[in-house]
Each structure stands twice: as C-alpha cells, then as structure tokens.
Structure 1
Amino acid sequence: MIQTKLIPRTAEAYEPPMLIKTLLAQSLRYEPQREIVYRDLFRINYVQFNQRVRQLANVLAEVGVKPGDTVAVLDWDSHRYLECFFGVTSVGAILHTVNIRLSPAQILYTMNHAEDKVVLIHEDFLPLLTAVKDQLTTVETYILLSDKVYTNTIDTQPGVEIPVGFSGEYEALLKAASPEYEFPDFDENTWATSFYTTGTTGNPKGVYFSHRQLFLHTMGLLTYLIGYEALPFKSRTDVYMPITPMFHVHAWGFPFLATLMSAKQVYPGKYEPEMLCKLIVTEGVTLSHCVPTILNMLVNSPAAQKFRDNLSRWSVLIGGSALTKGLAKAALDLGINISAGYGMSETAPILSVVYLNEEERALSLDDQIDFRVRAGRIAPFVEARLMNEDGQFVSHDGQSLGEIVVRTPWTTQGYYNDPERGADLWRGGWLHTGDVASITPDNWIMVADRTKDVIKTGGEWVSSLDMENVLSQVEGVAESAVIGLPDDRWGERPHALIVQKPGYNLTAEGIKNGLKAKVDQGELHKWYVPDRILFVSEIPKTSVGKIDKKRIRSEMKDQILS
C-alpha cells in the first residue's frame, strides 16, 4: 500500500460510522405510512415497525443479550425476521440466521459453532429443537414466535403455551417493552451477521459480515437496481416480496434496501404457491427474487394460471442457479419480467445483475432471452476477473474460460474459526468463486459451470449448465439436471435427469434423437447429447433450492449407469 497524506482531524468532529441502524433511520424520513405485511395475518407501517425494533432491543437487553453475543433466528420469512435484521444488529449483537432446511445434526453443529446465546424460534420448528436442545452448549434462553397471536387482534391474543426454558412469546414480550431505545454508535467493522453455507466436504462453513460490508452492499444494490434501473424498483410505486429465505444471505440483501427506501414490503411466511400468488395480486407485489426451483414451482402451478392476468407488473430476479431459456420463456409468457443475477454466500451476495442497454432493450422479448439468462453485467464497485489453473488472468473476450475471482467492498473476510478454508477462499488476494465463466468486453458474465461440475469429455470441457439450458427448451421438460460420470474411453460422459410436465409421455430415445438432429444441423456440439437420460419424479435439491449435483453423483450413480 502506498504512503499517503491523511486529512487532518478536528478533535470534536463527528465521523458517523456505516451502521445498519443508519439504514433503518431513513425509513421514517419520507414515506413512514408505507406498510410491512405478513401473509394475510398482520400489517404495520414504518412508524410502528421502528417502535417494534426498539421494543425488540429492550427485550434482548432484558434477557441478557450484550454487544458481541449471538442471537439465532429460526423462522419463516416474516416481519419478525425483518425486525431482527435491525434490532439484533443495532444493539451490537450478532444475528445468526439459521438454515432451517439443514439436517438436525447440521443445525446443531451451526448453533454450537456460532455460540448462540438466545434463540428466537417459530412454533413450527419446536420438534426440531426438541431433537437437539439437550446438546446445545451455549444457549441460555428461547423466545417463541407464534402465528396464533395474529388470528385475533393483538389485544385479545389467544392463549399460547410457552415451553419450559422460554422467556416468553415474542408479541407479548414486545408489548411489555418500552418503544424507546437509543441505538449506540460503535465501530463499523463490528460483526453484524452470520450464517452457514454447506460445501462438498466437511461441516458447514460460517460466513460473516460487518456493519460496514452490509451498508456498502446496500449502497451497491441502490446504485445498480435504482440508479441504473437494472431492475425496476422505485420506492414510490413498487412493492417488494422476497421468495428467497431470509436465512439465505439476508434474502440477498434486499430487505435492507427496501427498508432504506421505505418501500412497501410483503413477507409470505412459508412458501405456498396459492398464498404467494394471492399476495402478489392482493398486495400489488412488483419485485421478488428466488432460485429457479421456486419460479418453476410457481410457473407450473394451477395458481399461476388462475392469476396469470395479474402477473404482468411482477419482476423477478433469479439467482442461486442458472436461469434456463425454457424457464425464462415460460415466465415471460405469463407476463413476468424475468432476468438473472449472480453471486454467492461469501459475496453478500450480489456480483452481477442483468442490465440491458438501449440497444438490447430495443430487441424483441424472444431476442432478449439470450441476454436475460446470462449471469448479468458486473455490478458497480465489483472487480471481477478470470483466472486459469496456473493463477494467470484470462482475457475478457467472451470466449476464454477461467474461474471467476472477485474483490468487492462487501465480500466476507473468511470463515469463522476455519482459517484453512478461509485462506483457500482468498488465495492470491482474490476471492475464488469456484465458477468457470467467460466475460465479454462489455462486462457480461456468462457462467459455464461450477469447477466441480464441468464435464471433461474427450479432451473438451462441456458445461452442464449449457446442456440443462438445451434440455429446458424441449417441449414437455419441466426440469433437468446434467452431471458427468466416469467413462473409460472419454474420461467423463454426460448423464441427465429429467422431470417431465404432467400430460407428456417423453422418451429418452425421442429426446436424444431431437438433440442429434440439432447436432446434424450444426446447432449443437456432439458432446451435448447425454449418454443416458433417466426420468425422475423430482431432482434432489440443496437446503436453499439449488440442484444438488453432489448428491446426484453419489446417491444415483448406480441407478444412472445400470
């Protein structure tokens, strides 16, 4: 680092730190009457929301939470979760967003590893808690989250049974707490949040972020989504609803942005197609984000057909896995404004989002699909490069492939209590994503595959994502997954799992013949015809809805090759 001259500082001058409480404060300035809605059960405005966040801060103090302590949350997407995003972090404590879809053993590991002190848990997950409670080593008390209290007015709450070891029920505790709380200043590098991401080997890894990192990630979203209008999101008219779990990278950071903007927010609780579609229509939702699995579920549900005339105002950002052309076209046919983005847990997560320039916006929707399914254009303040196996940078010519390596103001600095894997993540001073891609001269990222999922066959690299994209466009294919399996002659060969849509009677031979015809016409490379196609009722998914190719390879290898 070069030697520079720092600006002089006056002893009494105030330099405000970048803290999450500052994002919260903006929500009262311009549109405090806007609402935050939970399913069809509960709604508050931003004045009430701010009061509740402060009441939560007082509740946390009452149960013994101090700066630096870790508070865990196990809940569906809700206003309570949003209150924890701000209330827990703004008192200087650490918010652990527990992945409720992990196995009980993994949840136990993450809660002990994170050293959770207080746990807020929805009644739906009490059986899970029962399975691990006696093995939790640091938890001192629990707070119950119950939807039963919203079935009548808050003043006439029905009885809720409080389990032994619980401090009480959330709404009752808030009601008894003062709405006055002065959030303190502290160092902006203070640890704010933690969550755990599963890898191919070993225990889940603890990812962590500071107030400064989350503040700057929010500013990055603000710049790209609103400044550049990469997605239409205007605080005056737009309504936000996440369909990415709030435990998954803070719902991609959008709740922080929506609160900063005092935009209307809708939280759907447990994901149910009928409820999601109902909320989109009745609450006027205009912006959501989700993984392809959720969108596929919605697009193919009877509810989507029922509400199809009301979906034209809805924009959806797809991430977590590749958006296929087939799914994009199905969404566009319903009037949904669909586009893709790219990032990972360790990057908070946004690295790129589809941005169509003036020339690209002038294209027809059919011609735009090729752009909309890309990983996106590199986001502001993100430095992204391609690196080969020798650690050398690769040209951004739209053809050359390399691993995406990045630097941003908001990437995690490592993994909690795991210096070895943290050092591997940051080898050479760049965060290694594990994704193989090309980058065009005009900053489009086109992800080819995960490094571990690229199929190495006949001396060539074949992208499993490209193959899935081709299969998604076969009429009658609802979902597909492609993996490489060992082959004595070619090293690896591609094998496909396919879920077909109801009413179709596809055959492996029919699909292969269709692909071979495209090969003969020069539209596809010969390697893009799978050796074996297996029809399944569902494709294995990870806890956050991504296709679980590790599980497919390990558990279904014998079945595919039989």
Structure 2
Amino acid sequence: MIKAGDPGFAFDDFDENAIATTFHTTGTTGDPKQVFFSHRQLVLHTLAAATTIANQPVGQNVTRRDVYMPMTPMFHVHAWGMPFIATMLGMKQVYPGRYDPATLLALKRNEGVTYSYCVPTILRMVVDAAKANAWDVGPWTMMIGGSALPEALAQEAEEVGIIALSGYGMSETGPVVTLARSQPEDTVGVRCRAGFPLPLVEVAIDQARGGELTLRAPWLTQGYSQQHASDALWDGGRLHTGDIAEIDADGAVRIVDRLKDVIKTGGEWVSSIELEALLTAEPGVAEAAVVGIPDARWGERPIAFVVRAAGPTVSEEALREAVVARALTGAISRYAVPDAIHFCDALPRTSVGKVDKKALKETAHPSALFAGA
C-alpha cells in the first residue's frame, strides 16, 4: 500500500484543533462513553510521553534502537500512544495480531523485541509460558496498565527477564498521564505504583470526593458526546478520574481503588485492589478479583473470584486463613475478609483484557452461588 502511494501527494492543511480521533470508553464499571481528541492533543501527548519514556532509568527506557511490539488492541486509546512515539523515533515495530503467548515469545526472540505494553492478564500469560519452557526472555521492558499490577506478578516477571512497570491513564486521558520508575536499591513494589506525572500533567487529590484523583493536562479529552456527562467529568475545571489515590512523599501517585469498585462495608471502605494483591501473592493463585455485593446488614460485603495457578491446588480455607491472618495483624480491616471465595477457570474480560467487574457482580448473587458460605 505504501509503495502504491504518491510520495508527492499534497496534504491539505487544517486547524490543529480539528478532531483527529474518537472512540468509546471500555465501560468496565459503567456505560461506555464516546471521547474525542484533536490533532494538537495527540502531538502534545506524544512529545510528553516520549520525553518521559526516553528518560527512564536504564532498563526501563526506550531509544530509537529498541524494538517495539504492542500487546493490547490497537483500537483502544491510540494503542496507548506508542505507535506515534515509535514512528517519530524511527523504531522497528512488530505487530503480532492475536495475543497468543507462544506467538508473542517467538516474535520476541526472532525479532529482538525489547519494549512492549499490556494489561496484567497478558503479562500473566507470557510469564507462565516463559516459566513452562524455562526461558529467560530478557531484556524486555513492559509498561503495564488497564488495572493494577500485582507486586507478586511483577516479581515473577523479573525472574524470567521482564522488567514490568506501571503506567496510569484512561480513555479520557489519551491515555498516559503517569509512569512508574525505580532505582536499583528500590523494591519491586515501587514499580507497581501508578508513578510520576508526565511533563505538563498536574495531579491533585480531591478529599471532598473521597480522595479522588483529579487531573489537568493539555491533551485530556474535552468531554463526552453527552453534555451532562462532560459537565460531571470536568466539574470545577479539573478532570475527575473516578479513582481513589494517594500521593507518596516522593511525588509518585498510588491508586487505592476505583470509586465504583471500593467496597463500603460496616462503615469502612475496603480496597478491592488491596485484597486482590493479597490473594494473588498467595501460592497457587494465578489471578484474583474482588467485588462488593449488596448486604442488608453491612451495606456491601466483599466476594472474591480466584483463578488457580498450575501445580498444587489451593483451597478456600487456606486463602481465607491468609486473609484473616493479615486482618489479625491490622494490615487490613477485619471487614475486608471476603464472605466467600469462588474459584473459576477464568475471569470475564472486556474487549481490551480488563476484568469485567460488572459481569462479576451480576454473577455474584448470594442465593445463587454462595448460599451457606
């Protein structure tokens, strides 16, 4: 197609504020909404993201000599902005098609891939495949987004040669607004935080809204196709992310939970992300998701869904004991102990690989699955 094109084609000039892209949010916790971005916004995001990624510590950065391979659908949020960066820098680009772990590992080996990004589910698949074949797949840096990066998974990835670091963003932010980084003396958990703001990004915590993370940056979507939703998104002149967050002493953002996912039980807030990380760290657990279901007495109660890892079978009793032990030390609230732990073959996913918590809440009907739990 490129060879058939006219290299002398004269492109019409147009206003940089003209709309360049439009797509819908994934609707993980709510209804999908249409967002849009201008050409100017895409350029600004590309420059800010490229500047940040290029200046990451060695082993977490990108140069024009790196080989880039995406592992998320290209239709979702500009493929996280990386195709623009890779093209601007003149990097070699490898496009895998379907995200089969054997195919991904073969392309990594044969094409010399050094930089990728994906959701934790895909990282889990790649790590498991590498471990099953006893392969050291490094050097390979992966930016992880879409949902929280469990510290246990980041540690497993490092053991097979993958340096995984969190990035944070959403459909409304184009997407990247923060990126984690670590130094040799840091623990792996440092790379599991949402990270530090990109240039031109301003972050703040709105305590009046339960600790919600709010943003300002020149490339954030101006709104949705529905005016009332746009007004709520930009209430007070800042974009409201819907995520509860904290800012650590070094300036890094740490996501506590989604406002719609946090479980309000017995007068306390329970973080589903914290519970999921605790469960995932237990031997025999590959993935975990926690949702809140209505409860007449407590308002909501946490229910856990767990996918077992290969090897010795982990029991509900063992997982419950692990959570209770953390509660007894005060590490988590006693209200956070799940009412039930449901084992399943796989967690439901959206089109971009995120855990579909709406589907889990519909499944987690106490009378249907957990009677007598």
Bin the TM-score by the shorter chain. over 0.9
- Partner of 1:232, secondary structure, is coil
1:561 aligns with 2:370: yes
| Residue 304 of structure 1, CA deviation | 5.3
Once the two structures are superposed, the pairs formed by residues 468-547 of structure 1 within 5 Å of their partners are 468-547=276-355
Preserved contact between residue 281 and residue 307 of structure 1 (Cα < 8 Å): no
1:307 to 1:185, Cα distance in 2 relative to 1, 3 A: farther
1:193 to 1:307, Cα distance in 2 relative to 1, 3 A: farther
| Residue 560 of structure 1, CA deviation | 3.8
1:210 aligns with 2:38: yes
1:308-334 per-position Cα deviation (integer Å, ceiling 9, x unaligned): 22x111000100100011211111111
C-alpha distance in structure 2 between counterparts of 1:521 and 1:432, whole Å: 35
C-alpha distance in structure 2 between counterparts of 1:389 and 1:555, whole Å: 33
1:336-358 per-position Cα deviation (integer Å, ceiling 9, x unaligned): 111111000010001110022xx
Preserved contact between residue 480 and residue 498 of structure 1 (Cα < 8 Å): yes
1:509-551 per-position Cα deviation (integer Å, ceiling 9, x unaligned): 1111122233334444323321110111111111111111111
Aligned-residue identity in percent = 47
Range with greater deviation from structure 2 (485-494 or 241-250):
485-494
C-alpha distance in structure 1 between counterparts of 2:56 and 2:289, whole Å: 34
User: Match of 1:321?
Assistant: 147
TM-score (norm 2): 0.93
Preserved contact between residue 270 and residue 333 of structure 2 (Cα < 8 Å): no
User: Match of 2:73?
Assistant: 245
Aligned counterpart in structure 2 of residue 425 of structure 1, from 233, 246, 253: 233
Preserved contact between residue 342 and residue 351 of structure 1 (Cα < 8 Å): yes
| Residue 448 of structure 1, CA deviation | 0.8
Where does structure 2 lack aligned partners over 5 or more consecutive residues?
A: none
1:86-117 per-position Cα deviation (integer Å, ceiling 9, x unaligned): xxxxxxxxxxxxxxxxxxxxxxxxxxxxxxxx
Preserved contact between residue 454 and residue 463 of structure 1 (Cα < 8 Å): yes
Aligned counterpart in structure 1 of residue 221 of structure 2, from 387, 412, 422: 412
1:249 to 1:403, Cα distance in 2 relative to 1, 3 A: same
C-alpha distance in structure 2 between counterparts of 1:527 and 1:467, whole Å: 11
Aligned counterpart in structure 1 of residue 357 of structure 2, from 549, 555, 558: 549
1:286 aligns with 2:108: no
1:370 aligns with 2:182: no
Q: Which amino acid aligns with 1:527?
A: Y
- Partner of 1:485, secondary structure, is strand
Q: Which amino acid aligns with 2:75?
A: F
- Partner of 1:279, secondary structure, is helix
User: Match of 2:161?
Assistant: 335
User: Match of 1:434?
Assistant: 242
Aligned counterpart in structure 2 of residue 232 of structure 1, from 51, 61, 66: 61
User: Match of 1:39?
Assistant: none
C-alpha distance in structure 1 between counterparts of 2:7 and 2:133, whole Å: 43
Structure with greater contact order relative to length (CA < 8 Å, sep ≥ 6): 2
TM-score (norm 1): 0.63
C-alpha distance in structure 2 between counterparts of 1:537 and 1:549, whole Å: 16
- Partner of 1:253, secondary structure, is helix
| Residue 442 of structure 1, CA deviation | 2.3
1:517 to 1:275, Cα distance in 2 relative to 1, 3 A: same
Aligned counterpart in structure 1 of residue 133 of structure 2, from 306, 313, 325: 306
1:521 to 1:421, Cα distance in 2 relative to 1, 3 A: closer
| Residue 441 of structure 1, CA deviation | 3.5
Preserved contact between residue 453 and residue 464 of structure 1 (Cα < 8 Å): yes
C-alpha distance in structure 2 between counterparts of 1:355 and 1:295, whole Å: 18
Range with greater deviation from structure 2 (318-327 or 189-198):
189-198
